[in-house]
Amino acid sequence: MEELKQRIREDGVVLPGNVLKVNQFLNHQIDPDLLYRIGKEFVELFKDQKITKIVTVESSGIAPATMVGLNLHVPVVFARKKKSSTMNDNLYTADVFSYTKRVTNTISIDSKFLSADDHVLIIDDFLANGQAILGLIDICRQAQCTIVGAGVVIEKSFQEGASLIKEKGVHLESLARIASFAGDEVHFVGEEN
Ligand code: G4P
Ligand code: NA
Ligand code: NA
């Protein structure tokens, strides 16, 4: 998505450790118009598929996921990272290890929000090592949903997440694919020099 890549070039900040900070439009302050168009782009990429539900994980996945749900008029469910006191025992759970933060979170979704009739599109903001999306795939499979695919806003293609998801047989679409960082510059896949 050219508009997204342009925005990353303009507002993205490359931090040590191959981390891209996009707090201007995605991870802290949110640009709703850009996010709305991101939602439409995912709808276009998966337009031939039946989708009954969008699934993501809190917190940064919620904004893009909601924009996809808004465009499709289907519910958006986000996995929680902490067990809420109002949640009962009927949960689907998966352990997600974050390499960046060096912690394991147990993510969970109340079983009443996913059923075997659901055709799920998984959406997230970043794809790095893929553990968050693998956890969501695990949860969808526990619920016996049909997984239509996974859509991520920014893929760091030099990390292993993309290939791990494809190995699970899940169709992956990423709107911006980063090949490498060079100093404060971002090189996208297909634009390396
Ligand atoms: P993984 O889910 O792909 O395995 O990611 P990883 O453990 O490596 O990353 C942990 C967290 O950092 C995830 O957010 C992920 O989205 C985010 N992340 C990974 N690489 C980058 C990056 O280059 N830039 C930014 N801004 N974020 C990155 P999280 O901690 O699960 O959640 P959230 O509460 O922030 O949504
Ligand atoms: Na995320
Ligand atoms: Na994040």
In the chain, what are the domain boundaries? Answer: 2-185
CATH for 2-185 (3.40.50.2020, 3.40.50.670, 3.20.20.190, 3.30.930.10): 3.40.50.2020
Q: What is the ipTM of this complex?
A: 0.91
Model confidence band, residue 52 (pLDDT cutoffs 50, 70, 90): very high
- Using the 8-state DSSP alphabet, how is residue 118 labeled? -
Ligand nearest to the CA of 125: 2
Cα of 146 from ligand 2 centre, angstroms:
22
Q: Which residues line ligand 1 (CB under 6 A)?
A: 19-22, 27, 59-61, 98-101, 125-132, 156, 161
Once rounded to an integer, what is the mean pLDDT over residues 128-150? 98
Angstrom distance (rounded) from CA 188 to CA 119: 31
3-state secondary structure of 144: coil
Angstrom distance (rounded) from CA 25 to CA 143: 33
Which pLDDT belongs to residue 43? 98
Cα of 172 from ligand 3 centre, angstroms:
19
Angstrom distance (rounded) from CA 135 to CA 46: 21
Ligand nearest to the CA of 101: 1
Query: CA-CA distances (angstroms) from residue 193 to 2, 146, 159, 185?
Result: 18, 40, 19, 12
List the single range of 59-73, 94-108, 133-147, 161-175 with lowest mean pLDDT. Answer: 94-108
Which pLDDT belongs to residue 88? 67
Which pLDDT belongs to residue 4? 98
- Residue 46 tokens, joined: 């998966």
Which pLDDT belongs to residue 100? 82
Angstrom distance (rounded) from CA 117 to CA 137: 16
Q: Are 14 and 183 in contact (CB under 8 A)?
A: yes
Q: What is the pTM of this model?
A: 0.95
Which pLDDT belongs to residue 101? 86
- Residue 18 tokens, joined: 């191959």
Q: Are 105 and 81 in contact (CB under 8 A)?
A: yes
